[in-house]
Structure 1
Amino acid sequence: MPKDTPAGECPQCWQHAHDRRIHRRLKPGQNCPQCVDHMINGHPYLVPKKPSRWW
């Protein structure tokens, strides 16, 4: 199982990029319907980053 989604990343993109089990059922050359929908419609949300305390 992959690590938790890092700050500033989309959970779905992160999971689909790092968990091979998700795309295992797809045939060669077949696109993942969830990934295609996500590319067309964009990210539902991003994991928030912690506020910068540099200043």
Structure 2
Amino acid sequence: MTVAAQETPPGECPQCWQHAYDKSIHRRLGPREDCPECVDHMINGCPYLVPKKKSFWW
């Protein structure tokens, strides 16, 4: 799993966040070629989410 270059927001997967906002990751792929890491996430889900901060409303 790769770690996001910029800080990942609470409740988000670091890999999904980085793949969505860092265009250099998918530059190496050919036209209409799927990213193996993204396909793995679509099939198996995200292995790690950044924990959300506790709400202080209660």
The answer to whether TM tops 0.5 is: yes
Aligned to 1:42: 45
TM-score scaled by length of structure 2: 0.87
Query: Match of 2:8, SS?
Result: coil
Distance in 2 separating the partners of 1:23 and 1:38:
15
Deviation at 1:3, TM superposition (A): 2.6
Distance in 2 separating the partners of 1:19 and 1:4:
12
Aligned to 2:13: 10
Aligned residues, how many? 55
TM-score scaled by length of structure 1: 0.91
Distance in 1 separating the partners of 2:7 and 2:41:
19
**Bigger RCO (CA 8 Å, 6+ sep):** 1
Q: Which runs of 4+ in 1 moved over 6 A?
A: none
Aligned to 1:22: 25
Distance in 2 separating the partners of 1:14 and 1:43:
11
What is the RMSD of the two structures over their aligned residues, measured on CA atoms?
Answer: 1.4
5+ residue gaps, structure 1: none
| Percent of matched pairs sharing the same residue | 72
